[in-house]
Structure 1
Amino acid sequence: MTPRARRAALAATCLLLAAVVLPLGWAWTLGTESARAAGVIVDERDKQVLTPRALAKTGTGVVTGNPQGDVTLVEYFDYQCPVCRRVHPDVRALAADDGNIRVIHKHWPIFGDASVAAAKLALAAHWQGPEVYDAVHHALMTLSGRLTEDGVREAAAEAGLDLDRADADLVGRADDVAARLQGVASEAAQMGLRGTPVFLVGSYFLPGGPDREALETLVEGVRKGEDRL
């Protein structure tokens, strides 16, 4: 198969997955430019281009996995999103087993106050070190049912978060926290996102809940340079 044919096949697979795995109830309004597998995302209001590389450098996300990885996976998520929870084990396992993927978590709490509280505690965990953040992120992502602020705090503490330090950081760094969350929300608005999760793998754009095989296919495509038009 020629490189052009492989790109076309992978693009078709990506778009098919995007159509199939969307959670029921979400009304996605993705334009052709946003949905195609290998392209840039354009804000039609001010004509500024948000490329996947640019989104990875905005400073609104938390870098996990291998910070020097040769492939970047960006995930927009909410800790209360059932599809985010479902795909979390695959994302986590892929990053761990591959060892060369840089994962950037974009906290986009869209399911209410408890989601916001969870996102803020995760950011506080980030300031306590990567191991604490990873443990807290995993704990929050594996909670079941509707989140409560007390439940979120309990799970984070059990995962190793120093709550007193976290509370102090969230007060002292309130402007930073607000800027990060608002920045992610702004990115999502510019891309026309309507729900979580959304993945960017290299230059591939994939809304919905891909399984590990789908993510591995996109990672392989990036490494082959097939995520470029």
Structure 2
Amino acid sequence: MTSRFPRPSRLRALLASAVLLMAGVVAHAQPAAAATAVADLGPDDLARGPSAVVAANRDGDVVLIEYFDYQCPVCRRIHPFVKQLAAEDKGVRVIHKHWPVFGAASVYAARMALAARWQDRYEAVHDALMDIHGRLDEEKIRKAAAGAGLDLARAERDLKDRGTEIGAILDDGSAQAEALDLRGTPAFVIGDYLVPGGLDLKTMRTMVAKVRAKRSPGGPG
């Protein structure tokens, strides 16, 4: 389901009950969140801060933010679509929000991926974790991360030494998801549209084009 992202001043209120028809999918506006500090943030704010991990095209003009869990089957299925969109359109800045909601193994996977940033292996580890089949466990996570070139001993040190920083990243993403009233993974913010649930590549392209069209002279308001 797709809704216009609420203006910051309205994020605590219910969104309008307008219906958006896009790529053959009818999507209803969703209620916004309860009052938290995150509730004052808009799309541009969500693209910054501790939980915003830039995964592709840092200078892109359209921001695509994905809230995900490595154990979420839909997240795994649409992962190639996000990768392909970023590869074919260098104007799409992809930002990852780690929101591990499927238990301890998901949390460990998220922490391992975040630790990989200090070895410049984040993207490779992210891709490897998304390619795991079935339920996660620590052995599978470590094997996939090592196969992606991660030094596990160093990663474990970073998990310990930088645990507070990594915890703040996860806490920030979780607080945002709660403020946006997300019900599960995946969920996207594309420009000023909030999209709970999975998207196919065609719909992603359509939404990016719609965001750009709104910004162009004479574009829709």
TM-score category (smaller protein): 0.7 to 0.9
Match of 2:56 in 1: 65
The number of residues matched between the two structures is 201
Matched, 1:180 2:169: yes
Secondary structure class of the residue paired with 1:205: strand
1:30 correspondence with 2:30: yes
What is the deviation of 1:142? 1.1
1:91 aligns with 2:100: no
Q: Distance in 2 between matches of 1:56 and 1:152?
A: 27
Deviation, 1:100, is 1.9
Stretches of structure 2 lacking an aligned partner (at least 5 in a row): 1-17
CA RMSD of the aligned region, Å?
2.4
Q: Deviations over 1:36-69 (max 9, x none)?
A: xxxxxx6446694221111111221210111001
Of 140, 146, 152, the residue aligned with 2:141 is 152
Q: TM-score normalized by structure 2?
A: 0.84
RCO higher in structure (CA 8 A, sep ≥6)? 1
Secondary structure of the structure 2 residue equivalent to 1:224: helix
1:51-93 CA distance string (max 9 Å, x none): 1111111221210111001111000000000010111010111
- How big is the shift at 1:191? 1.0
Seen in structure 2, the aligned counterparts of structure 1 residues 10 and 99 have a Cα distance that, compared at 3 Å, is farther
Distance in 1, matches of 2:209 and 2:19, equals: 10
What residue number does 1:124 align with? Answer: 115
Separation of aligned partners in 1, 2:167 and 2:35 = 25
Give the conservation status (yes or no) of the 8 Å contact 1:14–1:206. no
Instruction: Tell me which amino acid in the other structure corresponds to 1:84.
Output: C
Q: Does 1:162 align with 2:162?
A: no
2:206: which partner in 1? 217
4+ residue segments displaced more than 3 Å: 14-19, 42-48, 226-229
Identity across aligned pairs (percent)?
48
Residues 47 and 140 (structure 1 numbering): CA distance in 2 closer, same or farther, change over 3 Å? closer
Go from structure 1 to structure 2 and tell me whether the alpha carbon gap of 1:133 and 1:17 turns closer, same or farther (over 3 Å shift).
Answer: farther
Gaps of 5+ in 1: 1-8, 20-28, 35-41
TM-score, reference length from structure 1: 0.81
C-alpha spacing 1:45/1:102, structure 2 compared with 1 (3 Å): closer
Equivalent position SS for 2:169 = helix
